[in-house]
């Protein structure tokens, strides 16, 4: 189904519309492509033709083929997103390709490629090369006056110190005026899940531009995509400021989660229910987003974003002596969190996991979402293996766990021959299990690692003599 560059324009039903290219068709770019393709004028007619561009890698090709075949490339429970996609298929204004020449047709380019932190070596570093080559590809193709909006989460200083100079160099080497582009930054707050689509179009956005003209153009574009009447845009004075805003936002969340970890241990030690305590505190408007104890932190953002600023300080901003001890410690605490659950299981199984079988319920990191990236379940399983245990995994929303190359059964396994059951992801599915019927007299140990079980499920376990423990409840 992949289209070649030559065919791209004739495939659009209305070839006159301005073209928006979305570079990177991952969780952000694929959904953003739909949001742009769905943008309409007051008559309900499309405002843009959209070309999604990904790499010719197996993953990239699979995403391209899925979009061209009219199916969203990721499992989703968001019906609104699927409905929007059906409408776009009828409109015929979205095409995906790996042909980079298509960037030469764009009036606007959204950059949604990934940018990771390389933790292979002792000192983590920003794995900037892939991102830089994505920008160089743009520099070799874009035409005069194109608006480039960086949506990728980037370290502060990236637009000014990396993207702009790269684009200038490329344009110069093509004999063009080196500043003949508009560069803006607007970070994504998209949340794959039931409100995946709304988290783009019905949500607040921050943006900035390298110049006022770029910021104006970015604000104008975003207001065609986003419901800015109900969710007004916030314009910041520089790209450094909006790059920092994204990192601070996610660092705040990651630190808030890590902060609760020690209180969870305290609550367990003194026999109180920290979830009840937190509910009482959340009544105060100033404290209503205090986090709660859990199994761990996963996903692509909270696991890396808090480290970007400290890495950027030296490598991009040439600052000495600027450190981020809270953020660094928060990431460390969050990484270790699943081991607290594993230690608890080990303790319940008389101090050894050797030869034991654990049933892990939930491999995705978010409730009711099938996203397994950087899932704490992976840390749990790998360490359980290292301690000699066998782990059987289940997740109602994951058929294949790519990071572990493991097929996941769709039906919850019978608890026969299981020594311990760990409820790790707080999927609604698990709250509906009739434990008495499911266990049928089997007596595994049970750990509620993520406030998954209902009060009546917990009461059943306690009253029926199960060895039962919880994270955050004594």
Ligand X SMILES: NC(=O)c1ccc[n+]([C@@H]2O[C@H](COP(=O)([O-])OP(=O)(O)OC[C@H]3O[C@@H](n4cnc5c(N)ncnc54)[C@H](O)[C@@H]3O)[C@@H](O)[C@H]2O)c1
What are the residues binding ligand X (CB under 6 A)? 23-29, 53-55, 57, 59-60, 63, 112-115, 130, 133-134, 137, 152-153, 188, 190, 192, 300-301
Does residue 154 sit in helix, strand or coil?
coil
Shortest CA distance to 301 belongs to which of 121, 83, 99, 153? Answer: 153
Closer Cβ to ligand X, 155 or 264, answer by number: 155
Position of minimal CB gap to ligand X: 26
H-state helical runs in 226-360: 239-270, 274-282, 305-315, 325-348
Non-local (6+) Cβ contacts of 212 within 8 A are none
Closer Cβ to ligand X, 181 or 466, answer by number: 181
**Rounded least distance, CB 365 to ligand X, Å:** 11
**Rounded least distance, CB 97 to ligand X, Å:** 10
**Rounded least distance, CB 203 to ligand X, Å:** 11
**Rounded least distance, CB 308 to ligand X, Å:** 9
Instruction: Give the span between the Cα atoms of 88 and 79, in whole angstroms.
Output: 14
Closer Cβ to ligand X, 2 or 273, answer by number: 2
Query: 189, 182 in Cβ contact below 8 A?
Result: no
Closer Cβ to ligand X, 30 or 384, answer by number: 30
Query: End-to-end alpha-carbon separation of the chain, Å?
Result: 56
Beta strand 49-53 with 468-470 is: unpaired
**Token pair recorded at residue 157:** 């200083």
**Rounded least distance, CB 47 to ligand X, Å:** 23
Instruction: Give the span between the Cα atoms of 198 and 175, in whole angstroms.
Output: 42
Closer Cβ to ligand X, 111 or 337, answer by number: 111
**Rounded least distance, CB 288 to ligand X, Å:** 22
Closer Cβ to ligand X, 95 or 361, answer by number: 95
**Rounded least distance, CB 28 to ligand X, Å:** 3
Beta strand 400-401 with 116-118 is: unpaired
Instruction: Give the span between the Cα atoms of 261 and 411, in whole angstroms.
Output: 32
Closer Cβ to ligand X, 155 or 209, answer by number: 155
Q: Can you say whether the dihedral through the CA atoms of 424, 427, 428, 429 is positive or negative?
A: negative
């Amino acid at each position: 189904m992949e289209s070649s560059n030559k065919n791209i324009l004739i495939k659009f039903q209305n070839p006159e519309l301005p073209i928006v290219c979305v570079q990177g068709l991952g969780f952000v770019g694929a959904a953003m492509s739909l949001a742009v393709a769905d943008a309409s004028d007051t008559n309900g007619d499309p405002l843009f033709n959209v070309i999604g561009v990904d790499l010719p890698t197996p993953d990239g090709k699979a995403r391209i083929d899925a979009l061209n075949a009219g199916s969203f490339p990721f499992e989703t429970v968001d019906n609104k997103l699927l409905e929007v996609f059906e409408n776009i298929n009828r409109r015929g204004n979205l095409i995906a390709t790996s042909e980079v020449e298509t960037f030469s047709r764009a009036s606007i380019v959204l950059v949604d490629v990934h940018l990771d932190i390389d933790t292979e070596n002792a000192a983590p570093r920003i794995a900037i090369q892939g991102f830089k080559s994505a920008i160089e590809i743009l520099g070799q193709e874009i035409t005069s006056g194109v608006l480039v909006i960086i949506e990728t989460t980037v370290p502060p200083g990236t637009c000014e110190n990396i993207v702009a100079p790269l684009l200038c160099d490329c344009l110069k080497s093509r004999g063009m005026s080196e500043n003949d582009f508009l560069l803006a930054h607007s970070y994504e707050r998209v949340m794959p899940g039931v409100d995946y689509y709304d988290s783009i179009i019905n949500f607040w956005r921050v943006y900035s531009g390298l110049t006022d003209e770029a910021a104006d153009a970015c604000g104008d574009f975003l207001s065609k995509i986003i419901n800015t009447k109900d969710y007004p845009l916030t314009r910041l004075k520089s790209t450094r400021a909006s790059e920092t805003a994204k990192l601070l936002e996610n660092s705040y969340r990651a630190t808030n989660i890590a902060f609760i970890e020690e209180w969870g241990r305290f609550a367990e030690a003194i026999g109180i229910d920290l979830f009840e305590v937190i509910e009482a505190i959340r009544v105060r408007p100033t404290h209503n987003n205090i986090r709660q104890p859990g199994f761990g932190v996963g996903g692509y953002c909270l696991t890396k974003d808090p480290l970007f600023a400290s890495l950027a300080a030296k490598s991009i901003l040439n600052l000495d002596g600027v450190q981020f001890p809270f953020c660094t410690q928060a990431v460390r605490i969050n990484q270790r969190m699943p081991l607290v659950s594993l230690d608890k299981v080990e303790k319940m199984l008389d101090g050894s996991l050797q030869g034991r079988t654990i049933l892990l319920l939930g491999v995705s990191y978010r409730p009711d979402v099938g996203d397994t990236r950087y899932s704490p379940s992976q840390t749990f399983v790998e360490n359980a293996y290292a301690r000699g245990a066998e782990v059987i995994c289940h997740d109602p929303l994951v058929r294949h766990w790519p990071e572990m190359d493991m097929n996941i059964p769709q039906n919850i396994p019978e608890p026969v021959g299981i020594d311990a059951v760990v409820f790790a992801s707080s999927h609604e599915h698990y709250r509906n299990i009739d434990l008495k019927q499911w266990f049928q007299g089997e007596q595994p140990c049970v750990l509620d690692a993520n406030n998954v079980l209902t009060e009546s499920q917990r009461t059943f376990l306690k009253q029926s003599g199960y060895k039962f423990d919880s994270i955050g409840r004594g």
